[in-house]
Structure 1
Amino acid sequence: MARETAQAAVALGGGHGLAATLSALRRLNDDLTIDDLTAVVTVADNGGSSGRLRGEFGVLPPGDLRMALAALCGDDEWGRTWAEVVQHRFAGQGELNGHVVGNLLIVGLWELMGGDHVRGLDWVGRLLGAHGRVLPMATTPMDITARVRGADPSDPGALTVVRGQVEVATTAGQIESVALVPEDPQACAEAVEAVLAAEWVVLGPGSWFSSVIPHLMVPGLRRALAETPGRLVVVLNLEAQAGETTGFGPEEHLAALFEHAPDLNVHAVLVDAGSLAGEREALEKAVADRGARLVVEDIAVRGEPRHDPDRLAAAFRRIVDGA
């Protein structure tokens, strides 16, 4: 049942984590609980089709933007068909091998529109009938770097720096902090406006150091997240990610977030009940210390380490209705 007054929501992240959040929030958009939905997407990917297009054309990597657009497609025949089309990856042995249709479509529109990233994405969204808007977190090409301890087996205590989203996501060591190169990429103005105007802002889940935390490293976006009157909801991952967050539980994920943004004002932290494994008391204290409330729900696909869009939507709806 829809609220009497619908609200605007912004979801930040990248990859499969952001896609899960958007799939859930789209359901709230469909029932008019949320009437204005915007995705703000990490754009630092340097691998696969996105990395190749970024290197050849000097554009923002389109892959995570494409996934967000696909997640916002409707459940009707038009939406399902276009979601499949833009996610289709070419096989074969030629130069198209590994490229994704949606990546090529996005880059093609960027070229036609003189490099206007936002306008190009808006046109793709119109074609797909997307139930929301997709924006890059920044308009400056960038790389992620990470300070990693223990990447060199011969010197487990040494700190090294790795560069590139793929390299950060697959590092063999323990990530201590991440940064962006350049340090002050230009935030997407429309993304900043959306965050400042939203009643709800959702951060996570996703690759914690390479998709979620980078939003906090863009100065203009970081200021908007600190200043927005909207309520910020953090969605924690279901499990640690090999390499990037090996050994992390829910409390460690939250601690890493606040180490990079100690001034972040969080309204609620959403965690899957099955991922707590006896850590609930410690997590409750960590969340309460930040003046937030812990929301524990069954939000995973049964027997699988991924979020269930319907359950996640139900959890979001309870958070919004209970505010």
Structure 2
Amino acid sequence: MVDVRVTRTAQVPDPLRVQRYQKAPELGPRLLFFSGGSALNGMSRRLQHYTHNSIHLVTPFDSGGSSAKLREAFGMPAIGDLRSRLMALADDSILGHPEVYRLFTHRLPKNADAAVLQDTLDALAAGRHPLIDAIPSPMRQLTCHQLGYFRESMPEGFDLRGASIGNLILAGGYLNNHQQLDPIIFLFSKLVHVRGTVRAVVDQDYHLAATLEDGRRVLGQHRITGKEVAPLATPIAELELSADRDAHVPVSATLHEQNRRLIAGAELICYPPGSFYSSLLANLLPQGVGRAIRANRCPKVFIPNPSPDPEQTGMNLERQVAVLLDTLRRDVGETCPARELLDFVLIDSERGDYPGRLSADFLAERGVTLIDTRLIDEDDAPHYDPDLLVTALLSLV
């Protein structure tokens, strides 16, 4: 057996290649994304029309919103971003299950009385609620079972205001499956015909810890991302994992073997837009991620945010690329050539609001190619247009 690397000249966008994928999405390429949050959900909804084989490794470190309530009550990984990505990739054709989609995306009222919310949960678990009644068997019984398990495990005084029903179902399944996420995510992926693979990058109750350039430490994703509290005024110097949200207890996580195989089998690896530290770099922290990326010779693409990101205070484009590479080298070693971790940076410089630019010398020194093409439509500005972004990525496979 001879190991060879075959390269080709790519046209971006490549309409003929994209049309071919669109005609047979079940045979589409294995594009892998390291992401979290909602930044990639719009693109994921479009992506399913070109490939049913995309892979999404999602951060389970969210420490805000309704996920925080579940984490505090049960000591579990965050599941909100996993549920959100499952729904973004759920079959939206007539063959899908819109009634399950409606249930998973439904939230309980934020201002309802606790007794009313408890009655609603009881009705859902007992199969006596309209949202449950619309679901055919055996999915109805399975869903009710997971909700019932959550209801029985729910601590007294648990705050149900604004709770996502999908999160409660996944939490019940997690508790009912010996505190493992994979079985319940796999099960509900099948129930709603998820067109792709969604997995947590690790399955542990860990949190994010950021050390700022002035030496201060910020604990918890919700304090880093700038969405629930004021954005950080000082740049982040380092991101780590912690066993606690309120006191820094350094821990290391190890990439699951199944996730390693998914990275190994990807035909394109994407470092996508989104919260730079808490969504992208957080996924790269577990031991083994950088090595798995390096071992795969497929194209590797970084897509910077086209508008200011609260987590990227003081960072220009060159600094973003450097931090991305430095984070990966924590696993593969400082001497690893950049070209084994990153091939392309994909931007729309004419329409995007990027901080600074990538000089020719900077790119040449690292062996990285800049692809500057139309990715933003006037209707979506300053955000990427999902179709244009999908088309550009598919053209590289």
Q: Which TM-score band (shorter chain)?
A: 0.7 to 0.9
The answer as to 2:47 corresponding to 1:25 is yes
Task: Select which of 256, 259, 262 maps to 2:326.
Answer: 259
Q: Is the 8 A contact 1:139 1:187 kept in 2?
A: no
| Structure 1 residues 297-312: aligned runs within 5 Å | 297-302=373-378, 304-312=381-389
Task: Provide closer, same or farther for how the CA distance between residues 148 and 277 of structure 1 changes in structure 2, counting only shifts above 3 A.
Answer: closer
* Residues 1:120 and 2:184 aligned together: yes
Contact 1:201 1:233 in 2 (8 A): yes
**2:298 corresponding residue in structure 1:** 230
Counterpart amino acid of 2:104? V
- Number of aligned pairs? 305
Question: Which of 75, 86, 93 is the equivalent residue of 1:58?
Answer: 75
Q: Residues 162-194 of structure 1: CA distance to partner in whole angstroms, max 9, x if unpaired?
A: 111111212332112211124321323321110
Tell me which residue corresponds to 1:174.
235
CA spacing shift, 1:287–1:72, aligned 2, 3 Å: farther
**1:12-161 alignment runs, 5 A limit:** 12-29=34-51, 36-77=53-94, 78=96, 82-91=100-109, 92-93=111-112, 94=114, 95-149=159-213, 158-161=214-217
The alpha-carbon deviation at position 69 of structure 1 amounts to: 0.7
Inter-partner Cα distance in structure 2 for 1:132 and 1:240: 30
Mapped to 1, the partners of 2:49 and 2:306 lie a distance apart of 21
Of 343, 351, 366, the residue aligned with 1:290 is: 366
Gaps (5+ residues) in structure 2?
Answer: 1-18, 115-158, 227-231, 243-249, 330-335
More deviation, 42-51/245-254: 245-254
SS in 2 for 1:206: coil
TM-fit CA distance, 1:125: 0.9
RMSD: 2.4
Aligned residues of 2:306 and 2:354 also touching (Cα < 8 A): no
Q: Report which of the two has the higher share of strand.
A: 1
CA distance in 2, matches of 1:250, 1:81: 43
1:11, 1:21 within 8 Å by CA — same for their partners in 2?
no
In structure 1, the partner of 2:285 is 217
**Residues of 1 paired with 2:238 and 2:69: CA distance?**
27
Between stretches 294-303 and 8-17, larger displacement belongs to 294-303
Higher Rg: 2
Instruction: Tell me if the contact between 1:20 and 1:307 (Cα under 8 Å) persists in the aligned partners.
Output: no
Gaps of 5+ in 1: 30-34, 150-157
| Residues in 2 aligned to 1:236 and 1:62: alpha-carbon distance in whole angstroms | 25
* Partner SS, residue 217 of structure 2: strand
| Structure 2 length-normalised TM | 0.70
CA distance in 1, matches of 2:306, 2:257: 32
Change (3 A) 1:45 1:174: same
Q: Which residue identity does 2:390 align to in structure 1?
A: A
* Cα distance change, pair 237–57 in 1 and its aligned pair in 2 (3 A): same
Give the alignment's TM-score, normalised by structure 1.
0.85
Distance 1:283 1:42, change over 3 A: farther
Q: Does 2:321 match 1:245? A: no
Contact 1:198 1:229 in 2 (8 A): no
In 2, the alpha carbon distance for the partners of 1:183 and 1:230 equals 30
Partner SS state of residue 39, structure 2:
helix
What's the CA shift for 1:135? Answer: 0.4
